[in-house]
Amino acid sequence: MFHMKHPLKLVDFQMERLEKGFRKLGLNYDEEIIFKFRLYIELLLSYNRRAALFSKGDEPIVAEKHILPSVALARLVSGETIKNWLDIGSGAGFPALPMKLFLKHLPLIMVESNRKKALFLSRAIRELGLDSCEAKWMRAEDIPEDTKFDLITIRAVEKPQNIFLTAQRILENGGRFIWIRGRHEKEELELKSEGIEKLGLKIIDVVKLPGFYPCPRLYAILFSRFR
C-alpha cells in the first residue's frame, strides 16, 4: 500500500485512514470537516514536491503519522478560553492546521522562518477558508517583547534549545506551552525539568498521544509559565 503513485488514489487512501482515526478518537465530524481535510491533504501532497514540507517517504502515511496526532492534541485545549495562540516552526502546518480545523473559534498565528513553507501556510489558510488565522514569515525569536500568548504549540524546530527562552519571553503567566516529542526526547526533557523551572516554566503534564503509526510514539508535554 505504500507504493501508490496516482495522486487521487493516494488522497483517497489517506482520507480512509483519517476517518478511521477520527472514529478511534471519538470525534464528531461532518462533511465540511471531511472536505477541508481532503483539500489540506491535496495541498500537502502538491506542495511537498516543491517546498519539501515533510519527508517524501511520509506521503503515503501523512494522515497517520502527522495529521491524526495533531488532531488528538486539539482535545487537550478544546473548550478552553484562549485569546492568543501561537504555533512555532509550523512548516507543513503540524500540529496547528489540523487542530484549527476542529477549533475554528481559536485565533491562531503561525510563524515559520522558511519562506517557501510560510507561503504554503498562507495558501492553505486561504484555500481552507480559515478565520482568525495568519502565517508569518519570521523567527519566533523576533516576536516583539510586548506580544504575549496564552497558548504556544510546537512540534519540530531546528534549534530546540531556543524554545524555552522564547516561551519564557512571550508566554503569559499561567499560559500553556505544548510540545510534541518522541519518547526519548520526553525522557530527556523530564530529566532537565529542574533547569527548565529556573526559566519560570514547569512541566504540568505528559500525555501519550493515541498511536496511529507504530513509530515514533508521540507525547504531548505540557508546560506552564508560573512567573
pTM: 0.91
Q: What is the pLDDT of residues 75-89, one digit of tens each?
A: 888 767 889 999 999
Give residues with Cβ within 8 angstroms of 85, minimum separation 6: 106, 107, 108, 109, 149, 150, 151, 152, 153
Number of CB atoms found within 10 A of residue 144's CB: 8
The full DSSP string for 183-206 is: HHHHHHHHHTHHHHHTTTEEEEEE
Distance, CA of 128 to CA of 36 (rounded, Å) = 6
Q: What is the pLDDT of residues 200-222, one digit of tens each?
A: 899 999 999 888 877 778 899 99
Q: What is the pLDDT of residues 160-200, one digit of tens each?
A: 678 888 988 999 999 999 999 888 888 888 888 888 888 88
- Cell numbers representing residue 184 in the block: 526519548
Amino acid at the residue 97: L
**Domain locations in the chain as residue ranges:** 65-225
Task: Residues 65-225: name the CATH superfamily.
Answer: Vaccinia Virus protein VP39 (3.40.50.150)
